[in-house]
Structure 1
Amino acid sequence: MTSYQNILPFQSEQLAHAHIIQSDAEALEIAHNLAEQFKAGAVQRDAERILPFEEIEAYSQSGLWAITVPKQYGGAEVSSYTVAQVIALMSGVDGSIGQIPQNHFYGLEILRNSGTKQQKQKLYAEVLKGARFGNALAEFKTKTAAQRQTAIRKTDQGYVINGEKFYCTGSLFAHRIPTLVVDEQDQQFLAFVPRNSEGLTLIDDWSGFGQRTTGSGTVKFNNVQVLAEDVVPFDIAYSEPTISGPFAQLLHASIETGIARAAFEETLKRVRQARPWIDSGVDQATDDPLTKFELGRIVADVRASEVLLKQAARSIDAARPAPTAENVAKASLDVAKVRAHSTETALKASSKLVELAGSRGSQREDGLDRFWRNARVHTLHDASRWKYYFIANHILNGVLPPRRGTL
């Protein structure tokens, strides 16, 4: 377990000038090229838990971490589907790298909904230069997952934060750590805390058996000072109709869909190398009828998740210009469908990979188990059974789903 304090000093003027992407097409081209680069070493990074500092630096310097910045602030403002495709591509080559920017994009979405013009100008400009946002949202020691104890208090200089967070994905790689806090009136805020702030400690104590290099450990705040200009209201992202919740969930679905697609593609390679089952009566595994049956089922599910992902992204973008209770609910339900489906598909495709590869698929040096481990750990973010419940409750009873980032 390692503690990190000020290992990545941050001042806006110290940031390198990242490439600025201009269009959806450019974003996808860069993402494809980077994904190919990140394939190298993916098995070793997972096996030895080598944190991908160099890869994440290349990722943000490519401009991909700024693709949701609105055009009026100098960004490409790509579609939600483009963001989803980028996350899926990265997740397919390395599930951890795919997840690390998830809360970065979520923080930018909260900023878009709740920040002032001045806050947007400041923080968007940093991101366009290459700044990365992590997260300190979840808490490990509260009675329920919805409770928050990390407190923010007003001072003469701004605010001070005290508390502790866990599952802080991406924070080890971040320049700022968006932190969910509550004040004396139980109002929630998102504080964009510089990671070199005095009193802030990051602890690399994430021990999950999957998503091993996401840096999802503990962040502690001991009288951490934060400027008022870095604190954004959080409550209104859910008390009013916004796409913050469905957009956050779309990114989770993208991670699972990307893992599922990559697991299937790897299965095709392994089947071509495998021996047929003794009872199949054929000379090659590619002619084994039951193997082909299983492959057909998997590719149908993978493709269905991809189509549902695209549909959900389009619903989000349709609601974005003028969100209402109805169109946000539609987006939430469409995202719930892909989240539920992609959960099951990623788990099945990654399990079938090892099964159809045969005994050779269990060899540690190949690391084929990483697809299932990554899928299993990531899908624990939300229970698919509750997504099915909200979908059915709307169909049967017309009840709109709740507004939150975990639907």
Structure 2
Amino acid sequence: MTQIGLAWGEGPSQRYEALAERFRPIFAQIAEGTTERELNRKLPVDEIAALKAAGFGALRIPEAEGGSGATLPELFNLLIELSAADSNITQALRGHFGFLEDVVNRPAGPERKRWVERIVAGDIVGNAWTEIGNASQEAFSTHVAEKNGGLVVNGEKYYTTGSLFADWINVGVTGLDGKSGAAQVRRDDPGVTVIDDWDGFGQILTASGTTTFVDVAVDPLDVVPDESQFRYGAGFYQTVHLATLAGIGRAITNETAEAVSKRTRHYTNAAGPRSSQDPQVLQVVGRIRSNAYSAGAIVLQVARALERAYQAHFSADAEAEEEANTIAEIETSQALNVVSNLVLEASTILFDTLGASAAKKPAALDRHWRNARTLSSHNPRIYKDRIVGDFAVNGTPPPFQWRIGQAPA
């Protein structure tokens, strides 16, 4: 059934349904095993492999270069659908799609061509940026060095989401010039060790743990300075989180509606003979669905702003590009607290529609709150309203990039 037929609203383009139909059978298979994977902590290795084989990782590559040529609204709508099946997988692929966005922002030439060919062939790129402990905000301790006539990467990262499933890892580094940038290294290099030690209470199947790099070879062409990376990156990465949250909202809707329709036990003081005929229960289910609908609509609106920033990059108008980037970041910030609040509420009130049995572990309904709460903690929400307010009152542009670590003395 189409997105319109399911009452989730019109898709982002006329061709969207045809594009989505290629992947919906895989999404359905992923959804079937979601609860089992959650309860048994089984990583979605096979599921991500199926998406790779279907060309999901090459969505943003233009059709003329072998990809699907998806616009950003189309990409984010597909990520909502994938997240409704299993939000862990979207989170695990977040680093890949961020790197892919960097590739499609590059001009035609050998640097773009080599990565396009890798991604069209099915390669997936993981993420390794954050450092913990005494890490500095000013520079990465993970660094590029010269050794035996070549370049190597050494260091340790945490929150390396998706790297365990990847063919390449995009690593935040300090370059030979002492400046921050990125380096792409092979996941199967003997100096790379990826450990599934993520111990968070949510998004437990993303393998967002530790990765170490010991004399890992890196091609000089795969060392990229910060200023060469796409400008709307902060908004893009945050919108992946928002799409994931919107998908969680749909999953909550679907699972709650199904559980209510099947429930036969009910209370003597209820407003109907069974849950499916109880107007108070139906009202809560309606609230959950409305929250999920609103979250998805907001994500698509933000995705349109990011698409304008992408298009502006090729306009040869620096002022127009700067404005588009600013607006995209502001729209993302405006959406963040609203979307996260909508989905967090839905993940809580779903239990009001069911009995105490809904809290039993085999139902795994608690994963929705845990996942939504974890996603909402990645880029602190408390700063977003202030940033938006400062823009509204003072015209202050938002910060496009930020770092976490020990503040300079």
Give TM-score scaled by structure 1 length: 0.87
Query: Which stretch shows the higher mean deviation, 273-282 or 177-186?
Result: 273-282
Would you say 1:348 and 2:345 are equivalent positions?
yes
CA–CA separation in structure 2 for the residues paired with 1:369 and 1:146: 38
Cα distance per residue 1:332-375 (max 9 Å; x no partner): 12222232222112221112223322212112212111111211
The match for 1:197 is 189
Q: Which secondary structure does the structure 2 equivalent of 1:232 belong to?
A: strand
The match for 1:309 is 299
Q: How does 1:38-117 map to 2 (within 5 A)?
A: 38-113=30-105, 117=109
Among 362, 367, 384, the residue aligned to 1:365:
362
Q: How does 1:129-140 map to 2 (within 5 A)?
A: 129-140=121-132
CA–CA separation in structure 2 for the residues paired with 1:256 and 1:233: 31
RMSD over equivalenced CA pairs, Å: 2.3
CA–CA separation in structure 2 for the residues paired with 1:99 and 1:322: 27
Shift of 1:94: 1.3
Instruction: Tell me if the contact between 1:169 and 1:214 (Cα under 8 Å) persists in the aligned partners.
Output: yes
**What 5-or-longer segments of structure 2 have no aligned partner?**
1-14, 314-320, 404-409
Shift of 1:184: 4.7
Q: What is the one-letter code of the residue matched to 1:191? A: A
CA–CA separation in structure 2 for the residues paired with 1:167 and 1:352: 30
Q: How does 1:218-367 map to 2 (within 5 A)?
A: 218-237=210-229, 242-274=231-263, 275-323=265-313, 324-367=321-364
CA–CA separation in structure 2 for the residues paired with 1:25 and 1:156: 53
Query: Which stretch shows the higher mean deviation, 341-350 or 66-75?
Result: 66-75
Among 177, 182, 196, the residue aligned to 2:174:
182
Instruction: Tell me if the contact between 2:284 and 2:352 (Cα under 8 Å) persists in the aligned partners.
Output: no
Shift of 1:62: 0.6
CA–CA separation in structure 2 for the residues paired with 1:212 and 1:115: 37
Instruction: Tell me if the contact between 1:114 and 1:232 (Cα under 8 Å) persists in the aligned partners.
Output: no
The match for 1:380 is 377
CA–CA separation in structure 2 for the residues paired with 1:303 and 1:74: 33
Instruction: Tell me if the contact between 2:288 and 2:350 (Cα under 8 Å) persists in the aligned partners.
Output: no
Query: Which stretch shows the higher mean deviation, 107-116 or 97-106?
Result: 107-116
Instruction: Tell me if the contact between 1:246 and 1:405 (Cα under 8 Å) persists in the aligned partners.
Output: no
Instruction: Tell me if the contact between 1:179 and 1:193 (Cα under 8 Å) persists in the aligned partners.
Output: yes
Q: Which secondary structure does the structure 2 equivalent of 1:403 belong to?
A: coil
Give the length in aligned residue pairs. Answer: 382
Q: Which secondary structure does the structure 2 equivalent of 1:320 belong to?
A: helix
Instruction: Tell me if the contact between 2:55 and 2:67 (Cα under 8 Å) persists in the aligned partners.
Output: no
CA–CA separation in structure 2 for the residues paired with 1:55 and 1:348: 29
Shift of 1:125: 0.5
Q: What is the one-letter code of the residue matched to 1:180? A: G
CA–CA separation in structure 2 for the residues paired with 1:368 and 1:262: 10
Q: Which secondary structure does the structure 1 equivalent of 2:22 belong to?
A: helix
Instruction: Tell me if the contact between 1:180 and 1:190 (Cα under 8 Å) persists in the aligned partners.
Output: yes
Shift of 1:228: 0.8
CA–CA separation in structure 1 for the residues paired with 2:153 and 2:26: 37
Distance 1:175 1:115, change over 3 A: farther
The match for 1:124 is 116
Q: What is the one-letter code of the residue matched to 1:67? A: L
- Overall identity of the aligned pairs, in %: 29
**What 5-or-longer segments of structure 1 have no aligned partner?**
1-22
Q: How does 1:125-164 map to 2 (within 5 A)?
A: 125-143=117-135, 147-155=139-147, 157-164=149-156
CA–CA separation in structure 1 for the residues paired with 2:226 and 2:16: 29
Shift of 1:116: 7.5
Distance 1:282 1:74, change over 3 A: closer
CA–CA separation in structure 2 for the residues paired with 1:285 and 1:146: 56
Distance 1:94 1:78, change over 3 A: same
Shift of 1:405: 7.0
Among 391, 394, 397, the residue aligned to 2:391:
394
Distance 1:297 1:392, change over 3 A: farther
Instruction: Tell me if the contact between 2:106 and 2:112 (Cα under 8 Å) persists in the aligned partners.
Output: no
Query: Which stretch shows the higher mean deviation, 172-181 or 88-97?
Result: 88-97
Q: Which secondary structure does the structure 2 equivalent of 1:321 belong to?
A: helix
Give TM-score scaled by structure 2 length: 0.87
Q: Which secondary structure does the structure 2 equivalent of 1:381 belong to?
A: coil
Distance 1:146 1:33, change over 3 A: farther
CA–CA separation in structure 1 for the residues paired with 2:128 and 2:106: 18
Distance 1:73 1:244, change over 3 A: farther
